[in-house]
Chains A and B, each alone.
Chain A
Amino acid sequence: MHAELSLTVDGHHHDLTVDTRTTVLDALREHLEITSPKKGCDHGQCGACTVLLDGRRTLSCLSLAVAHDGAEITTADGLAPAGELHPLQEAFVAHDAYQCGYCTPGQICSAVGMLDEAAHGAPSVVTEDLTGDVRLDRAEIAERLSGNLCRCGAYAHIVDAVSEVAR
């Protein structure tokens, strides 16, 4: 069974026809050939597929495309104008915050979404005072990014990179 829908991805409007079983991840990768969101586990456990969907970090592998008709999606590819880097992308380069790079687009989209959540005062489970101000120390950053696995184990440098931008 098929459905027609439109998605705005990294500022570009797309009309597409997909099988109802198609996830947002597969719509991006297989239909629109936008391959910065990666397919890691395809079960919502690794975070490699993270995109910003209507402004919030979301797992595209667990989102059915048909349920997101009209959505605005930002992938790691669209965080900055062509030829430029988002500050988090620059920080990941400066701090060597990756090894193989496969999880990196998801890490960066997740970090962008996380910084926005923190800027709005959202606490995490390691926040001492649930009603107080949010201070993004290393423990906070690690907790808030725990949905993004890096099997190369670049976590220490990822926290360095995100810390620099969080300041």
Chain B
Amino acid sequence: MRPFAYERPDDATGAVATVTADPDAAFLAGGTNLVDHLRLGLAAPSTLVDVTGLTSTGITDLPDGGLRIGAGVRNADLAADERVRARYPALAQALLAGASGQLRNMATTGGNLLQRTRCSYFQDLTTPCNKRAPGSGCAALEGWARHHAVLGATHEPAEVACVATHPSDMAVALVALDAQVHVLGRDGERTFPLTELHRLPGDDPSRDTVLAHGELITAVDLPPAPDAGHSTYRKVRDRASFAFALVSVAAALTVEDGTITDARVAFGGVAHVPWRARAAERALIGAPVTEDTFRAAAAAELSGARPVDSPRGGTGFKLPLVTATLVATLRDLTAREETA
């Protein structure tokens, strides 16, 4: 592991200035992903700038009825917050479906959003990976592809191919719930929809997000979604607990007289980003609450899907799995609405 200096500036502005000025510096928050990356040789910063205590660890009510989540709020504290549990159950469930009790005590809201893919080839320095070593190729395309993408990936040309997925559960719920992210940079603060934070691999898979070096997430806002009290998160994985999603679905629905009048849906485990399923939402809104509607919504979202077809397995299994998971999630949600 490369030696590094450790700094703890007085405030977030100082932390941003320090990292912005040094291309080799990195922010440190909970450390659950970065410390592992230091050890694996995936990250080799010259300076770690600890932002613990520099961004808010509070969850505050917004005047419009929403919530502001400080970037320093631990995943466990966010999941346990009574307002989150009552008003944004999909978010509480997504957080609780992620990682382990110990990790949730350490990981922060900002860090969770910025964690990197767990693609085994990305994490293995001996294999080609365009995300880790741009231009070297993508080992997953002919390798053991299971946790890889079916939507929005880059399959060719070889020197920019990337089929990695974003690993966060929390982010999937947050994009479904129309969260906004606050980012502090050298030139001040900007706020934008969380759906715009992560980027598809395109022709530069090395970049996970639109953030410039030195920009720091300071908070995430949840709007007061009228249907958010009827939201849920379902995660499908290879074992019952402490595993990343093969497929996950976050959904919130509003139903009036048997017709869906509002829908928010996002998928995890299928793309380089927490995937807001706009085509599925369009198919749901105005349609009756039936299983055929749910299936049609999945089909609409998956019409542009392209699984990894690897000689050692692939992600084709995710197409029926996305459909089944979405149908089960919406069936569960609408059954609860009927009894509510």
Q: Decide yes or no whether B6 CB sits under 8 A from chain A.
A: yes
Tell me whether A131 and B86 are in contact in the complex, defined as CB-CB below 8 angstroms, given that A23-B35, A44-B103 are known contacts: yes
Docked-complex contact B96 and A3, CB < 8 angstroms: no
Tell me whether A125 and B96 are in contact in the complex, defined as CB-CB below 8 angstroms, given that A43-B36, A62-B36 are known contacts: yes
Complex CA gap A142/B241 in Å reads 9
* A1: contacting residue among B6, B38, B92, B102, CB under 8 A: B6
Complex CA gap A43/B99 in Å reads 13
Docked-complex contact B96 and A62, CB < 8 angstroms: no
Complex CA gap A63/B106 in Å reads 9
Interface of B is mostly: helix
- How many residues belonging to A are interface residues under a CB distance threshold of 8 Å? 40
Which B residues are CB-close (under 8 A) to A147?
Answer: 99-103, 242
Complex CA gap A43/B124 in Å reads 14
Closest beta carbon of chain B to A100's beta carbon, Å: 21
Closest beta carbon of chain A to B266's beta carbon, Å: 18
* Interface window among B77-85, B156-164, B321-329: B77-85
* In the complex, residue of chain A having the shortest beta-carbon distance to the beta carbon of B80: A122
Docked-complex contact B3 and A50, CB < 8 angstroms: no
Docked-complex contact A125 and B97, CB < 8 angstroms: yes
Which A residues are CB-close (under 8 A) to B242?
Answer: 146-147
Complex CA gap A146/B97 in Å reads 11
* B35: contacting residue among A62, A130, A144, CB under 8 A: A62
Which B residues are CB-close (under 8 A) to A143?
Answer: 240-241
Closest beta carbon of chain A to B80's beta carbon, Å: 4
* B80: contacting residue among A21, A59, A123, CB under 8 A: A123
Q: Decide yes or no whether B93 CB sits under 8 A from chain A.
A: yes
* Interface window among A72-80, A81-89, A109-117, A157-165: A109-117
* A42: contacting residue among B39, B89, B92, CB under 8 A: B39
Chain A 84-117: CB-based contact to B (< 8 A → 1; otherwise 0): 0000000000000000000000000010011001
* In the complex, residue of chain A having the shortest beta-carbon distance to the beta carbon of B106: A58
Docked-complex contact B99 and A122, CB < 8 angstroms: no
Which B residues are CB-close (under 8 A) to A35?
Answer: none
Docked-complex contact A114 and B101, CB < 8 angstroms: yes
Docked-complex contact A64 and B6, CB < 8 angstroms: yes
Complex CA gap A63/B33 in Å reads 10
Docked-complex contact B32 and A20, CB < 8 angstroms: no
* In the complex, residue of chain B having the shortest beta-carbon distance to the beta carbon of A67: B50
* In the complex, residue of chain A having the shortest beta-carbon distance to the beta carbon of B242: A146
Docked-complex contact B4 and A1, CB < 8 angstroms: yes
Complex CA gap A67/B31 in Å reads 10
Tell me whether A21 and B38 are in contact in the complex, defined as CB-CB below 8 angstroms, given that A1-B3, A1-B4 are known contacts: yes
Chain B 221-261: CB-based contact to A (< 8 A → 1; otherwise 0): 00000000000000000001110000000000000000000
Complex CA gap A42/B38 in Å reads 12
Q: Decide yes or no whether B76 CB sits under 8 A from chain A.
A: yes
Docked-complex contact A125 and B102, CB < 8 angstroms: no
Which A residues are CB-close (under 8 A) to B4?
Answer: 1, 20-21
Which A residues are CB-close (under 8 A) to B240?
Answer: 143, 146
Complex CA gap A58/B241 in Å reads 18
Q: Decide yes or no whether B191 CB sits under 8 A from chain A.
A: no
* In the complex, residue of chain B having the shortest beta-carbon distance to the beta carbon of A51: B102
Which B residues are CB-close (under 8 A) to A117?
Answer: 76, 80, 101
Q: Decide yes or no whether B26 CB sits under 8 A from chain A.
A: no
Docked-complex contact B28 and A50, CB < 8 angstroms: no
Q: Decide yes or no whether B1 CB sits under 8 A from chain A.
A: yes
Q: Decide yes or no whether B60 CB sits under 8 A from chain A.
A: no
Which A residues are CB-close (under 8 A) to B35?
Answer: 23, 62-64
Q: List 18 A-B contacts (CB under 8 A).
A: A21-B1, A57-B101, A58-B102, A59-B32, A59-B102, A59-B103, A63-B31, A63-B106, A117-B101, A122-B76, A123-B80, A124-B96, A125-B241, A130-B85, A130-B89, A131-B86, A146-B241, A147-B99
> 5 more A-B contacts (CB under 8 A) besides A20-B6, A143-B241?
A20-B48, A67-B52, A113-B105, A117-B101, A120-B80
- The 7 A-B residue pairs with the shortest CB-CB distance, nearest first, are A147-B100, A146-B241, A125-B96, A146-B242, A122-B80, A130-B85, A56-B105
Q: Which B residues have a C-beta under 8 Å from some C-beta of A? A: 1, 3-6, 28, 31-32, 35-36, 38-39, 48, 50, 52, 76, 79-80, 82, 85-86, 89, 92-93, 96-97, 99-103, 105-106, 240-242
